[in-house]
């Protein structure tokens, strides 16, 4: 007896990205659901070529949008795959998932961890500890939810997960201007979150977030390392992180494009977060 699969894709003015995403998703034997948050371009028209399951919901933040979709769409599949418009299902992943779901999945498995293959200015970033990077995009319906964080959210799965060896392609930018604007926005959210965590450090204990564990699954291990990173002093930690990532983890092997990516994403972005934390702390002292 086979398993059934639903795919949820979030959109907002994604006419440049969405068709390639939908074409890749069509390789899977699945029902495709699109949740749009007010696109004013050709996004909806493109989606209508691939699915009639198009729903509209105002966007507050990524986590709330994801969890609204999981709780309110008329899903019928026993499994849910969560994609963004800039994701691409590789042929290898599609073949593997079609094979897995052609039979019953072991009942103790409630989720699959899939690595993202980051594409930056048409180059696959293979080094600097950036690949493989696993996410729990795929889980049994009712056994997964998105962390309620403003930035760097992961899907949290209840029960055992299994690591897959095939990838989702993540096309993270169409231009440096877009990359910088998005990361400036995300730096603001991450700075706010870290400052708030200083006053509410017990949030992890409520079970809302992926638990940081050094010897856990790849997501739990990465969350543990992030917590260790956050314990270092502001402005020192991005320097140390970039040195480790670019030199010790061989980020330099990604060439000139890799230098741009690792510097912007591995140093500038994190330095900007620290600067915004510094600014928030100074403003708090004035009150």
pLDDT tens digit sequence for 24-67:
999 999 999 999 999 999 999 999 999 999 999 999 999 999 99
Query: Based on the domain organization, do 163 and 183 belong to the same domain?
Result: no
What is the dihedral angle through the alpha carbons of 180, 121, 168, 166, rounded to the nearest 10 degrees? -130
Cα 2 to Cα 79: distance, rounded to the nearest angstrom: 11
Domain match, 162 and 66 both: yes
Same domain as 136, residue 54: yes
In total, how many domains does the chain have?
2
Contact 28, 102 (CB under 8 A): no
Residue 208, domain extent:
176-286
In the chain, % of residues over pLDDT 70: 97
Return d(Cα 75, Cα 8) in angstroms, integer.
9
Residues 134 and 268 in one domain: no
pLDDT of residue 207: 53
The model's pLDDT over 134-164, given as tens digits with 9 standing for 90+, comes to: 999 999 999 999 998 888 899 999 999 999 9
Instruction: Looking at the structure, tell me whether residues 116 and 141 fall in a common domain.
Output: yes
pLDDT at 204 over 50: no
Q: Which residue has the higher pLDDT, 285 or 206?
A: 285
Residue 202 to residues 151, 156, 217, 233: CA-CA distances in angstroms?
18, 17, 22, 21
Mean pLDDT of the chain: 94
173 vs 91, higher pLDDT = 91
């Amino acid at each position: 007896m086979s398993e059934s699969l639903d795919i949820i894709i979030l959109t907002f003015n994604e006419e440049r990205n969405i068709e390639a995403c939908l074409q890749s998703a069509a390789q899977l034997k699945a029902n495709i659901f699109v949740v749009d948050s007010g696109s004013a371009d050709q996004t909806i028209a493109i989606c209508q070529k691939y699915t009639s399951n198009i729903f509209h919901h105002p966007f507050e933040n990524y986590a709330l949008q994801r969890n609204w979709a999981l709780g309110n769409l008329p899903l019928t599949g026993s499994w849910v795959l969560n994609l963004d418009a800039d994701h691409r299902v590789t042929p290898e992943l599609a073949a593997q998932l079609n094979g897995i779901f052609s039979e019953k999945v072991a009942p103790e498995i409630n989720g699959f961890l899939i690595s993202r293959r980051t594409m930056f200015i048409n180059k696959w970033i293979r080094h600097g500890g950036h690949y493989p990077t696993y996410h729990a995009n795929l889980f049994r319906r009712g056994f997964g939810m998105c962390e309620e964080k403003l930035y760097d959210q992961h899907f949290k799965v209840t029960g055992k997960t299994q690591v897959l060896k095939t990838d989702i392609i993540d096309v993270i930018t169409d231009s440096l201007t877009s990359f910088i604007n998005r990361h400036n926005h995300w730096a603001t959210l991450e700075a706010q979150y870290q400052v708030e965590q200083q006053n509410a450090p017990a949030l992890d204990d409520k079970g809302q977030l992926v638990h940081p564990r050094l010897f856990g699954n790849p997501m739990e291990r990465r969350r543990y390392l992030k917590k260790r990173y956050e314990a270092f002093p502001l402005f020192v930690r991005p320097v140390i992180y970039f040195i480790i990532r670019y030199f010790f983890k061989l980020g330099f092997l990604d060439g000139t494009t890799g230098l741009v990516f690792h510097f912007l994403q591995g140093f500038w972005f994190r330095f900007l977060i620290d600067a915004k934390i510094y600014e928030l702390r100074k403003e708090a002292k004035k009150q």
